[in-house]
Structure 1
Amino acid sequence: MLKTEEDIIRAVEQDKWMIKLLQAAKSLNLPDWWICAGFVRSKIWDTIHDFSERTAIPDVDVIYFDKENMDEFEEKKLEEILRRIVPHVPWSVKNEVRMHVVNGLDPYINSVDAISKFPETATALGLRLNQKNNVVLTAPHGVEDVLNLHLRPTPFFMENPNLVQIFENRIAKKNWKGIWPKIKVRHINREDKEKWHEGE
C-alpha cells in the first residue's frame, strides 16, 4: 500500500523499467532535469489499483532548465539520443526555459516551478536520480491527492479562470476514470464551486 512519499520512492526503486529510464535521462547530464507527469502518476495509480500490467502512457516526459540553449532542435536531438539508449519508448524532451511561451504564461523560475503549474495536482510530480543514483521525488503540491486518487486542478489553474476549461478538457479527453475507475474527479464550475464525481 502506498501511503507516503517514501512508499512511492520505494515502489519506483523496485521498478526496473522506471530505473532504466531514469538512468537514461540522467546520462544526458541536463541541468535541473526530471521525468515527470504521467510517468509518475500512472505508476502510483496502477499500484493502488493492483494492476498486474503497466498502463501504457502516451509519452515519457523529460524536462530540464537550460538558459544557455533554448533551441527547440536541441530537444529533438536529446529525444533521439534517448531513443538510441532505450528504444520503443515515447520520449518527449522539453526545456522549461522556453515552455512558458508555448503555454502563454510568465517565465518559470526552474523545472519544479514549471511542474507546480501543471494542470492537475496528481500530475504535478517529478522523479530523478541524484549523484548517488538515489531516487528523488518532487511534489510541489504534496502527494495526498495522487495517493487518495483525487484529480483536481493545481492552485495555479484554480486561480486562473481562463485555465479551468483546459483542465476540464483534459479530463474529458484523457479518460483517466475509464482506466483507473477508483479515482475521484473534482470538477470546477463557472462559480468556482467544487463538486465530486465518484462514479459507481
Structure 2
Amino acid sequence: MIERLPLDEQLAAFKAALSRNGILLEVLERTAALDLPDWYVTGGCLFQTVWNTVTGRAPGHGIKDYDVFYFDDRDLSWEAEDRAIGVAEKVFGDVPTKVEVRNEARVHLWYEQKFGVVCAPHTSTEAAIDSFAATTCCLGVRLDSDGRWRVYAPHGLSDVFGLVVRPNPVLAPRAVYEAKAAHWRRQWPELTVLDWPGTT
C-alpha cells in the first residue's frame, strides 16, 4: 500500500500517477512558459488524478478544471490579474479543458463576500494552498527552470494515496468542506471522509 511507503517512494509514486494524466503534463509545461511568479498547478487535478490511479479509473475521471495559482502582490488590481488571465487563455486555448489562473495575493479582497468568513492576506502561494478546506487538497506542483518537479505537500501524501479526505479548519467553513466532500464521494465512492472537528 503506497500510503505506508517512505516519503521518497511516495513522491516517486505521486509523480508516476500524475504523469498518467496527459492534460496535466501539458498544463504544467505551458504554465512554466508563462513565467508567473511563485506558481503552482494545484487543487483537484492533482489529488483526483491520484485517486483515479489508485481506483483504476481513467486519469481524467471527475476532473472539472485545472487550477493555476500564482502570487504577485506588486499590483492587487483586478485589471492586473485579468491581464495574466488573458495571456493564459491564449496559451491554454487549445487545451481540451478549463484552466483557471488566479493571483492568490488578491484572495482576501473577495473571499469574505463569497464564503462569509474573513481571509487575512496570503503571503505566498504556499500559504494559499495551506488554507484549502481539506488537508488532502493541500498540494502544489510546478516545473523548475531545469524541468525538475517541485512538489508542495505540507500534509504529506499518505491520505491522498489512502483515499482519505481530512478536514482542514483553518479558513474555509464547515459547509464548504462538507459540500466538497459530498461531491467527491459521488465521483469516488471508495473515499473515507472524516468528520469536521466537533461533529458527532
TM-score range, shorter chain: 0.7 to 0.9
Between stretches 177-186 and 99-108, larger displacement belongs to: 99-108
Distance 1:177 1:57 in 2: 13
Q: Percent identity?
A: 26
Corresponding residue for 2:109?
101
> Aligned residues, how many?
186
User: Which of 61, 66, 71 lines up with 1:65 in the alignment?
Assistant: 71
**1:186 matched to which residue of 2?**
194
State the partner residue of 2:162.
148
Pair 1:124-2:130 in alignment? no
Structure 1 residues without counterparts, runs of 5 or longer: 195-200
In the superposition, relative to structure 1, how do residues 53 and 27 fare at CA in structure 2: closer, same or farther (>3 Å)?
A: closer
Q: TM-score, normalised by structure 1?
A: 0.83
User: Displacement, 1:164?
Assistant: 2.0
Unaligned residue ranges in structure 2 (runs of 5+): 4-9, 112-117
Q: Given the superposition, is the C-alpha separation of residues 58 and 77 from structure 1 closer, same or farther in structure 2, using an over 3 Å criterion?
A: farther
Contact kept in structure 1, 2:88 and 2:101, CA below 8 Å? no
> Following superposition, which runs of at least 4 residues in structure 1 exceed 4 angstroms of deviation?
none
SS of residue paired to 1:27: helix
Cα offset for 1:53? 5.1
Residues 53, 59 of structure 2: 8 Å contact kept: no
- Cα deviation, residue 99, structure 1: 0.5
Q: Note if contact 1:125-1:140 (Cα within 8 Å) is conserved in structure 2.
A: yes
**How far is 1:134 from its partner?**
1.5
Task: Return the alpha-carbon distance in structure 2 between the equivalents of residues 5 and 53 of structure 1.
Answer: 18
1:197 is matched with none
TM-score (norm 2): 0.83
Partner secondary structure for residue 110 of structure 2: helix
Structure 2 CA distance for partners of 1:2 and 1:79, relative to 1, 3 Å: farther
How far the C-alpha of 1:94 sits from its partner, in A, is 1.1
